[in-house]
Amino acid sequence: MVELRRLDETLWEIPREARADMRVPARVFADEELLDAIRGDQSLEQLQNVATLPRIVDAALAMPDVHQGYGFPVGGIAATEPPDGVVSPGGVGYDINCGVRLLALPISVDELGERKEALVHEISRAAPTGGRGGGPLSLGERELERVLVEGPRALVEMRGVGTDEDVELTESRGRLEGASVRAVSDRARTRGADQLGTIGSGNHFVELQRVERIHDGEAAEAFGLREGQLTVLIHSGSRGLGHQVCTDYVKRMDASLARYRIELPDRQLSCAPLSSPEGRDYMAAMAGAANFAWANRHAIAHGVRSAIAQVLGKNTARATRTLYDVAHNVAKLERHGGREVCVHRKGATRAFPAGSTELPDAYRQVGQPVFIPGSMGTASYVLVGRPGSMERSFGTVCHGAGRRMSRTGARKQISGADLRRQLEAAGITVRCASNRGLAEEAPFAYKEVDRVVEVVERAGLAGRVARLRPIGVVKG
């Protein structure tokens, strides 16, 4: 049993002295009930392992949605200081820049009326699911290279997909600098070539929602949200391309550990100094995969607009706007505490406060929009970044409710067919190719999103803006 000491009402710490190899403390944001759930897997042990990374600064951090992952726990944050500080592919994850984009429709759920089933069906046709490709935007070699370097901007210019405003309202404007086509393997590029515009599988989805409640009127007005309004939340990432990038560099860094005299408690944390050839190449390949992921959600949003045009009319589709797009799994060079650090966000979301020059003009006075998906049977939240995130968590909050049960455990408790019937009875239209995949994402397999969000709000990391209720879901 890992011993934690309570620092305040939402923050707990495993002190550096708990293990001889820890370089910094390990801290987790939680309340007592969430902490009990977190203790149910190996995530706290993994967080201690993260605290052993060379040149990690301040603390290894975990959000209240934390759960066991590959190397790093999902919901983990670590900042390392260049040039000797390391970058770890396990601190980003296999689904590089898995993230979410929220679209705001110009109509209400009442105006949608009886067209909900038709809209969900058309979205399922426009945004393919499953583990394979077959997307609507199969790219040639040169086109794919532009996407890797430029992100969604390339789709606007090459194919007329999406708008300039969509790009502007994307984290980092949909482009991490320093991406290199050369650093992305042929295998990774082959896997991604026909996957733009596809949702994928696992916990990826497109969800039709209504704004159930406004919590912060000023921020909601700035974001263009009102009660009863329809929204669409898109959750996907870099698909096979990002998975292959992670696979390639975990193997390469594992082989180089002895060269840099790095000793790790878990080989899944394989890493290399940011200044090393392996570190530089990974950052360049990861940037390319992140740009691809932003382009993927951009393309999915284009498909959703096509579905809206088909069911609700072209004017409604044209007035459907991107509220914002945020990354979950990424490593970024940022300035915190007066120094440049590489912030690993593994299943965690950037949440910069008002005044940040990183934010688009539309939100600079209010703060960054943050989206916290719950489960397809409960609710999701729109939050806004607060100054506490910069002071306490490298400008970061949670990325969802967080699993409390394995996929296998969920399947043992309910069948996909039974879950589908329950969701439909609750007024949630479901499109999912696999009953098995549906059962794995059962709402009871996740922590309570309301409790998770309450913790980050009490911690001063972000504030609630709106609560969104699902009315239809296309499940990967």
Q: What is the CATH number of the domain that holds 387?
A: 3.90.1860.10
Task: Please say if the pLDDT value at position 182 is more than 70.
Answer: yes
The confidence score (pLDDT) of residue 314 equals 98
| CB-CB contact of 191 with 239 (8 Å) | yes
The confidence score (pLDDT) of residue 406 equals 83
C-alpha torsion angle, residues 269, 451, 387, 325 (rounded to 10): 70
For all residues of the chain together, what is the average pLDDT?
Answer: 95
Judged by average pLDDT, the poorest of 80-84, 116-120, 191-195, 307-311 is 191-195
The confidence score (pLDDT) of residue 133 equals 65
Within a domain: 437:
no
Cα diameter, the chain: 64
- In DSSP terms, 326 is beta-bridged to 100
| CB-CB contact of 89 with 246 (8 Å) | yes
158, exposed or middle or buried, with CB in 10 Å at 0-12, 13-18, 19+? middle
pLDDT tens by residue, 337-365? 999 999 999 999 999 999 999 999 999 99
Q: Which amino acid is at 409?
A: G
pLDDT tens by residue, 264-295? 999 999 999 999 999 999 999 999 999 999 99
Task: Please say if the pLDDT value at position 131 is more than 70.
Answer: no
pLDDT tens by residue, 385-435? 999 999 999 999 999 988 888 888 889 999 989 989 999 999 999 998 778
| CB-CB contact of 154 with 295 (8 Å) | yes
Helices (H), 313-397: 314-318, 387-392
Catalytic residues: 399
Element containing residue 380 per DSSP (H, E): strand 380-385
Task: Please say if the pLDDT value at position 1 is more than 80.
Answer: no
The confidence score (pLDDT) of residue 402 equals 84
How confident is residue 138, by pLDDT bands cut at 50, 70 and 90? confident
Q: Above pLDDT 90, what percent of the chain? A: 87
Within a domain: 74:
yes
Within a domain: 421:
no
Within a domain: 247:
yes
Within a domain: 43:
yes
The confidence score (pLDDT) of residue 132 equals 66
Within a domain: 467:
yes
Give the residue from 416, 341, 381 showing the smallest Cα distance to 233: 381
Within a domain: 18:
yes
Within a domain: 419:
no
Q: For tokens 């932003």, name the residue.
A: 294
- In DSSP terms, 325 is beta-bridged to 101
Cα–Cα distance for residue pair 46/67, rounded to 1 Å: 9
Cα–Cα distance for residue pair 464/461, rounded to 1 Å: 10
Cα–Cα–Cα angle for 54, 58, 61, nearest 5°?
Answer: 90
Please compute the mean of the pLDDT values over residues 36-52 and round it to a whole number: 95
The confidence score (pLDDT) of residue 304 equals 98
Domain count, the chain: 1
Cα–Cα distance for residue pair 359/69, rounded to 1 Å: 30
Which is more confidently placed, 130 or 149? 149
| CB-CB contact of 474 with 205 (8 Å) | yes
Cα–Cα distance for residue pair 346/361, rounded to 1 Å: 27
- Beta strand 369-372 with 380-385 is antiparallel
**Residue range of the domain that includes 79:** 5-404+446-475
